[in-house]
Chains A and B, each alone.
Chain A
Amino acid sequence: MSDALMILINQIVTYGYYAMTLLFACALAWNLRKTRDPQEAVLYAVILIPFILRVLHVK
């Protein structure tokens, strides 16, 4: 496999990863809005933190 193709695949995986992270972040935010359980609401909010930081390329 050529180097250029390997680099392209690597980039696609990287962008896919960030898209997936954004998708999970949106799903968590949506669940936070929809849930009727206060404990679940707190849990969703806490879990959102690393997803937000990763989407913003901060950590």
Chain B
Amino acid sequence: MDRLTRIKWIAAVLCAASALWAGVEFYEMRHYKEPVVLGPGVTQVQKLSAYEPSLAGTVNDCNVYILDSGRPGGTVLLIGGTHPEEPATNLTAQIFVENAKPEAGRLIVVTRANTSGSLYSRNGEAYPSFYEIKTSWGSKKWRLGDRAGSPLDSWPDPEVYVHYPSRQLLAYMDIRNLNRCWPGRPNGLLVERTTYGMAQMIRSLGVDVVVDLHEAELEYAVENTIVAHEKAQEIAAMASMMLTSTEFEVPIGMEFSPTALHGLSHREVGDHTPAMSLLYEVAEPLLDRIRGVTDQKLVLEGKDDFVVEAGKHKLLYAPIDENGWHIDVRVGRHISTFLQCLDIFSMMNPERTITITGVPRYAEVKEKGVGAFFHDPSKAAKDRVEYD
């Protein structure tokens, strides 16, 4: 074998090994199923395709968990996983599925709203594929995905995304971003059909309140806040005051949903369905451009020296110190904010009261850690475990 042939073989073998190594990791992420133990409050699990049939057989035919108290009251929809690289959102939603007990009204939970985006990681950002949280029975694993759906599931993107029905022009990849595709349409691309399915579900189940959970980089101005549609402004304002004065060390604000910015849940759900819509944001240093090493530790502990340094120079919209923004803090804030908004909604609409028990509030999550609120799927009855 001459020198050139040897070089060719070595290059081909090394690159094939690299492709195999990367391919196995990508394949594992795309096919990993997250177990969800159905808590005592879950009365039914539906598929989103029940509301938009074209989703059947696609990765975005996500589970819809229904927790019905069987008593009169209102209905609330909690959406996690809109942006899969914001883990506090799907973790919060799953804590409700595994622990919540509605005493009045009905709770509907989606933990992986844009499943497609949770099946791959962001190109060029070196995100970890998974993160694991310690529990009393072992370690539990979730996928850390990307912000938008995967091009493997929705392709090609348009040159410019023309939002339906506003016709506002948005960036091409936002046609895979679930929080730019509301209220959706039945003949659109995958993510538009996903939001359409959820909007149909909101209409047909008579949902009163929709809450969309998010996390944001500290460099972003919309941070640690509740963004509210006109219909929900009073609830958001009161919740923000109550939480800031009684529970949170770092205040939570309240912002009005801009009327001219389209595709977002806090605008379109309120405009196109009978429900009132709210969106919560909490700080997540993983998303900051200036962060350092992007690993599981950063996902969970939210500590980064570069972000802290930026904070010292007053370049951020949220405070950060050496304690970072731990996942327990982020999830705890989302849970308390949700429960507080429900309390206020129920106070203002006594005939539509929604009462939920069984879930911890901020202080308890901080004290025990989020791992304390996930149950062992191997110990649960088989018909009480679902997979996202």
Contact = CB atoms under 8 A, between A and B. Distances in A.
Nearest to B12: A45
B251 to A, nearest CB: 41
Contact of A38 (B4, B23, B30, B120): B4
B18 A49 contact: yes
A10 B26 contact: no
Residue in A6, A32, A41, A57 with the greatest tally of chain B CB atoms within 10 Å: A41
Counting contact residues on chain B (CB < 8 A from A), the size range is 20 to 34
Given A49-B15, A59-B26, A42 B156 contact: no
Given A52-B19, A56-B23, A58-B23, A33 B8 contact: yes
Interface string B250-293: 00000000000000000000000000000000000000000000
Nearest to B155: A14
A58 B26 CA distance: 6
Nearest to A14: B155
Contact of A14 (B14, B18, B120, B156): B156
Counting contact residues on chain A (CB < 8 A from B), the size range is 20 to 34
Contacts of B8: 32-33, 35, 38, 41, 45
Contacts of A48: 15, 19
A36 B30 CA distance: 39
A41 B19 CA distance: 17
A53 B15 CA distance: 12
Contacts of B156: 10, 13-14, 17
B152 interface: yes
Interface of B: 3-4, 7-8, 11-12, 14-15, 18-19, 22-23, 26-27, 30, 120, 152, 155-156, 187, 189
25 contacts: A3-B187, A7-B187, A10-B189, A14-B155, A14-B156, A32-B12, A33-B8, A38-B3, A38-B7, A41-B7, A41-B8, A41-B11, A42-B7, A44-B11, A45-B8, A45-B14, A46-B11, A46-B15, A48-B19, A49-B18, A49-B22, A52-B19, A53-B22, A53-B26, A59-B26
